[in-house]
Amino acid sequence: MFPLSNVLFPCGELPLHVFEPRYQALTNDCLAGDGEFGVVLIERGSEVGGGDLRCRVGSVAHIEIASPLEDGRWVLVTRGTERFKVLAWLPDDPYPVAMVEPHPSTPYRGTRELLDTAENSVRRTCALLSELGDAPAFEAATDFGDNDEALAWSLCARAPVNVFDAQRMLETDDPVRRLELLVELSDALAEDLALLLAGGLG
């Protein structure tokens, strides 16, 4: 398990610089096995040194690229595959270890219109952040074909919301409600950004 200060969604990409010895050991063990580990958000505390409070719902990270650096450090590119729920934390050995179970969502039965609305909302928010110089513009969405669920997760991963709102989306089991929440959060942020650009906030 790799507790972090950010949220990994299924279909989302997560680059990592692994420098702590315990997570270097985790990386070595994962690369010797199936190349997967769990990621959970640290609700309170620090990534370094332990003693943190961790959320119970996270995502499995699959290592796509692993580049070794000096002194045992690694640069990883990982991608989320599925959600899980932590049942119990076990003693570190030497990195965090937990008993988990799969925590799949219900199948997506929403409309393509809702997906388009969510994409437009995220795109608008990213564009406003780009105008402020705080984020890159929205990149072209990956072609997921007819896989609406993968597209929905990808939009959640791209949404420029804070980590606690991102965790709320990750923990939402109903994919339709998750997208509705995504639209609510993105639209609210976009309204604030538009006011800021117009000189109405400050």
Tell me the mean pLDDT per 10 residues along the chain, length 202.
Answer: 96 95 96 97 72 91 96 96 97 95 91 94 90 70 73 93 96 96 95 83 53
pLDDT for the residue numbered 143: 62
For residue 127, the enclosing domain spans: 112-197
Q: Which of 79, 102, 125 represents a domain boundary (last residue)?
A: 102
Answer yes or no: is 62 within a domain.
yes
Is 39 exposed, middle or buried, given 0-12, 13-18 or 19+ CB atoms closer than 10 A?
buried
pLDDT for the residue numbered 142: 57
pLDDT for the residue numbered 40: 97
Structure-token pair, residue 108: 């997506």
CA distances from 181 to 20, 29, 35, 167, 193 (A): 35, 37, 32, 12, 18
pLDDT for the residue numbered 46: 62
Which residue, 169, 185, 178, 168, is CA-closest to 148?
178
pLDDT for the residue numbered 11: 92
E strand segments, the chain: 2-4, 13-18, 36-44, 53-54, 57-68, 74-90, 97-102
pLDDT for the residue numbered 199: 78
Same domain, 96 and 123: no
**Residue 9 — φ and ψ, nearest 5°?**
-100, 155
pLDDT for the residue numbered 136: 65
The whole-model pTM stands at 0.89
Find the farthest-apart pair of alpha carbons in the chain and give their distance in angstroms, rounded: 55
Considering its fold, how many domains does the chain have in total?
2
pLDDT for the residue numbered 9: 97
Answer yes or no: is 107 within a domain.
no
Residue type, 29: D
Same domain, 132 and 180: yes
